[in-house]
A and B are shown apart, each in its own frame.
Chain A
């Protein structure tokens, strides 16, 4: 349990075009940041199904569709949408300051682990 949030500066907002995602190498983890109409959301860049790069998926509203086998995840909760079995990806707190996107890399949260805890 920490009482501090460490915001890591990632990249200027203009590097992520509207309705697209970009992968970011952040140490041991790879994350995918999405621009959904001026809002930026971050998830882990790995589909729980077969490891597909979610950053390359087509964005539909606030969800993304994995480019490999079309599994769909909500970018806000990380939960699988319309899945036959429950699945989820981690989400990361994200904010924009001075035109730069910051992510709390230690703040990964998974819907199911949260629920189980």
Chain B
């Protein structure tokens, strides 16, 4: 909006009150949102010195870590400002306040009058007075632009040092590390997150952070940053030095009070406000990190939302709410590192008892500080399930006498609704977006919400860090009789995350082996359920470029044959499209004779099965057969069943045999969430049963029907039509698209017929054959990458991954035995 238009508007005002907000951040804008919820007579202008719309600053660490895009953390998009007739002056910094004439003057000299002024100027990164902080490649981590600058520098192998082992420092460190940097955290104190943790809790956290591959140096005082113009390293007070290509300062924040101070408002560390969020000037108010209330400043989000609500009630004249301060509660947002801390956690005050529990091998530490049978503070590391219970007790000043015996493991209510029913309406459920229980209950009733997705859309609860998802679901279950649970299956108790979350974790955290996933996100053991599922997921996500761990795979995938009830194996060579040659048949017959194969059987998939082969014979059987693996033992591409089509059949209208062989060649050797069987028929008579295959091509005069999700197994299901196309090449491309889409989006052991029903064929069409060209290209490109790294598993007969892969070990002859006296 031009300056001139602005002035015209300014002159035309008068009927309504001018409300000016300085600071386009979370606290100020959430206050405006609260004002907009009630009828009001304000004409609102928002100044922001950043050029971005209001975004969720708390989630910048997830942007750095690649878990969210910058767009995903936007809270109010530009339409929101427009739809609410708010003038957004982005990238405009206010230079001073003219209290006498009630106007603010921006850096370009522009003047804006106000009736009410809200200061929400936030805070800035504290720059420690260390010589050399002005050097190049020394950054802070506070804004979207800071994040972008870090992302531009971060690259694999870069030596990054984070000064400051608090919440922000650790999150920054993890973000840089998943970008491939070699990261060290340097902290002045003996304990990481020393404001929130005691020494033991800090030690547990340190171990966990180190297990992620981040180095930690404690206590270490940085004396100087050296380097010629650009930073090359740090010198510590101890005299030691540490090389660094990049330094991030995360040594705390300071409230931005300059504007208020200069205008003569009362300030100390922050801008002083009373319980109504009023400053010392009756026309000026303040919220957020720039404030100081009863001697306390704030750096966490929940109290800031509370302040916004209180100020809204002050400004709309009702003055029904007051701000009573807040006991701090903090959660670390690093996936797999669960830390929760609340209240006053430092012991040593008279009359404070400590109740503790720790399990070093599980990495679990809990400590409760209790005074006069009331909870004063809590530290949870590794297991934060009960955070809400503790917060509830702490805030309510509950008498803990009846809970003392089970206080470290509070029994869960048999009725999950009880926990949420007992919560007060003012309890914040979603700390990231400041959504309270009351807001959620109201939204559910008002909009008839029955799904988590609906709740997210209406209230934004659970859209950011996701830690409140469980609570939101409980509320939905308790409040709405027709709650529809999302099919978000947890993979396994060993790694208690949904498939979707695990895919994000593996991609975001760049995990490349099953052991890594289990160590960081699981119980370190894994089992027969999650190990093969994780193996598949890693193979799919990294397109085969990962560390395959044979021990995590089922025996069939270790020896590339199907185990039978007596421990022998079945061998089915690939016979593309069910077409073979006399030569192949002779070799099969010879193998059957040579190895005394107890049964030779034609399978339902137009192939030949040799049953009863000993593990030790597998390599030589494969060699004698001279045919590739048919993958009949694995969750992967099985085969394409075909009819003879136009090559011989008098009814055939398409060359189904050639198309089937080509289809099999394109996809063979790849793995899938469950077995994947295909069929191609040359006319609608459907002799090769393409309509009951995971994927079928049905030839018609001048076109192919591509059908998916058919089944003739435990359940019988006719496949759905994906698309009808004219050429064989188009049919094969549609097949590729569906195939890769199924690989990427199905849960492990989910057959296509369940997958297609779960997602619906319309969605699948929209995401595959009718997807934008760029998306299609990406799917095909990932498929091509996987295909390139795939290989015929039977080549391992000659090059086993492990020398004893197929061998039955015999005891050594020499030295044979050793005799000892028994004890």
Given the interface contacts A3-B822, A70-B528, A102-B818, does A15 sit within 8 Å of B809 by beta carbon? yes
Q: How far is the CA of A18 from the CA of B550 in the complex (A)?
A: 10
Within 8 A of A (CB), among B548-562: 549-555, 558
CB neighbours (8 Å) of B820 from chain A are 4-5, 7
CB neighbours (8 Å) of B565 from chain A are 50, 68
The answer to whether B527 and A7 touch across the interface, beta carbons within 8 angstroms, is: no
The answer to whether B567 and A65 touch across the interface, beta carbons within 8 angstroms, is: no
B780-823: CB near A (< 8 Å → 1, else 0) gives 00000000000000000000001110011111100111111110
Does A2 reach chain B (CB closer than 8 Å)?
yes
CB neighbours (8 Å) of A2 from chain B are 822
The answer to whether A11 and B551 touch across the interface, beta carbons within 8 angstroms, is: no
Q: How far is the CA of A20 from the CA of B802 in the complex (A)?
A: 11
Q: How far is the CA of A10 from the CA of B814 in the complex (A)?
A: 10
CB neighbours (8 Å) of A6 from chain B are 817-819
Q: How far is the CA of A59 from the CA of B822 in the complex (A)?
A: 31
Q: How far is the CA of A8 from the CA of B549 in the complex (A)?
A: 30
Given the interface contacts A11-B812, A17-B550, does A60 sit within 8 Å of B819 by beta carbon? no
The answer to whether B815 and A16 touch across the interface, beta carbons within 8 angstroms, is: no
CB distance from A44 to the nearest CB of B (A): 14
CB distance from A33 to the nearest CB of B (A): 8
**Option from A8, A59, A68, A70 in Cβ contact (under 8 Å) with B563:** A68
Does A61 reach chain B (CB closer than 8 Å)?
yes
The answer to whether A22 and B817 touch across the interface, beta carbons within 8 angstroms, is: no
Within 8 A of B (CB), among A38-87: 50-53, 56-61, 65, 67-68, 70
CB neighbours (8 Å) of A26 from chain B are 811
The answer to whether A57 and B804 touch across the interface, beta carbons within 8 angstroms, is: no
Q: How far is the CA of A6 from the CA of B815 in the complex (A)?
A: 13
Does A96 reach chain B (CB closer than 8 Å)?
no
The answer to whether A7 and B817 touch across the interface, beta carbons within 8 angstroms, is: yes
Q: How far is the CA of A51 from the CA of B564 in the complex (A)?
A: 11
B498-533: CB near A (< 8 Å → 1, else 0) gives 000000000000000000000000011111100110
**Option from A11, A15, A57, A100 in Cβ contact (under 8 Å) with B555:** A57
CB neighbours (8 Å) of A28 from chain B are none
The answer to whether B816 and A58 touch across the interface, beta carbons within 8 angstroms, is: no
**Option from B528, B809, B819 in Cβ contact (under 8 Å) with A57:** B528
Does A19 reach chain B (CB closer than 8 Å)?
yes
CB distance from B547 to the nearest CB of A (A): 13
Counting contact residues on chain A (CB < 8 A from B), the size range is 35 or more
CB neighbours (8 Å) of A5 from chain B are 819-822
The answer to whether B811 and A60 touch across the interface, beta carbons within 8 angstroms, is: no
CB distance from A88 to the nearest CB of B (A): 19
CB neighbours (8 Å) of B551 from chain A are 17-20, 58-59
The answer to whether B526 and A60 touch across the interface, beta carbons within 8 angstroms, is: yes
Q: How far is the CA of A20 from the CA of B526 in the complex (A)?
A: 13
Q: How far is the CA of A11 from the CA of B527 in the complex (A)?
A: 27
The chain A residue sitting closest to B816, CB to CB, is A9
The answer to whether B525 and A60 touch across the interface, beta carbons within 8 angstroms, is: yes
Q: How far is the CA of A23 from the CA of B820 in the complex (A)?
A: 25
The answer to whether A24 and B526 touch across the interface, beta carbons within 8 angstroms, is: no
Q: How far is the CA of A23 from the CA of B809 in the complex (A)?
A: 6
Q: How far is the CA of A84 from the CA of B525 in the complex (A)?
A: 22
The answer to whether A4 and B822 touch across the interface, beta carbons within 8 angstroms, is: yes
The chain B residue sitting closest to A3, CB to CB, is B822
Q: How far is the CA of A7 from the CA of B822 in the complex (A)?
A: 11
CB neighbours (8 Å) of A57 from chain B are 528, 555
Q: How far is the CA of A6 from the CA of B816 in the complex (A)?
A: 10
CB neighbours (8 Å) of A53 from chain B are 563, 567
CB distance from A100 to the nearest CB of B (A): 7
Q: How far is the CA of A56 from the CA of B494 in the complex (A)?
A: 21
CB neighbours (8 Å) of A70 from chain B are 528
The answer to whether B821 and A24 touch across the interface, beta carbons within 8 angstroms, is: no
CB distance from B770 to the nearest CB of A (A): 41
The answer to whether A58 and B802 touch across the interface, beta carbons within 8 angstroms, is: no
The answer to whether A10 and B812 touch across the interface, beta carbons within 8 angstroms, is: yes
CB neighbours (8 Å) of B552 from chain A are 19, 58
The answer to whether B802 and A8 touch across the interface, beta carbons within 8 angstroms, is: no
Given the interface contacts A9-B817, A15-B803, A16-B804, does A60 sit within 8 Å of B809 by beta carbon? no
Given the interface contacts A65-B527, A67-B555, does A15 sit within 8 Å of B804 by beta carbon? yes
CB distance from A19 to the nearest CB of B (A): 4
CB distance from B254 to the nearest CB of A (A): 49
Which 5 A-B pairs give the minimum distances between C-beta atoms?
A: A61-B525, A19-B551, A56-B555, A53-B567, A65-B528
16 contacts between A and B (CB under 8 A): A6-B818, A10-B809, A11-B804, A15-B804, A18-B551, A19-B552, A20-B551, A23-B809, A51-B566, A56-B567, A60-B494, A61-B523, A61-B525, A68-B565, A70-B528, A97-B818
List A residues at the B interface (Cβ < 8 Å).
2-11, 15-20, 22-26, 33, 50-53, 56-61, 65, 67-68, 70, 97, 100, 102
Inter-chain pairs besides A5-B819, A7-B818, A20-B551, 17 sampled, C-beta below 8 Å: A6-B818, A9-B818, A15-B809, A20-B550, A22-B807, A24-B808, A25-B809, A51-B567, A53-B563, A58-B553, A60-B494, A60-B526, A60-B531, A61-B523, A65-B528, A67-B555, A100-B815
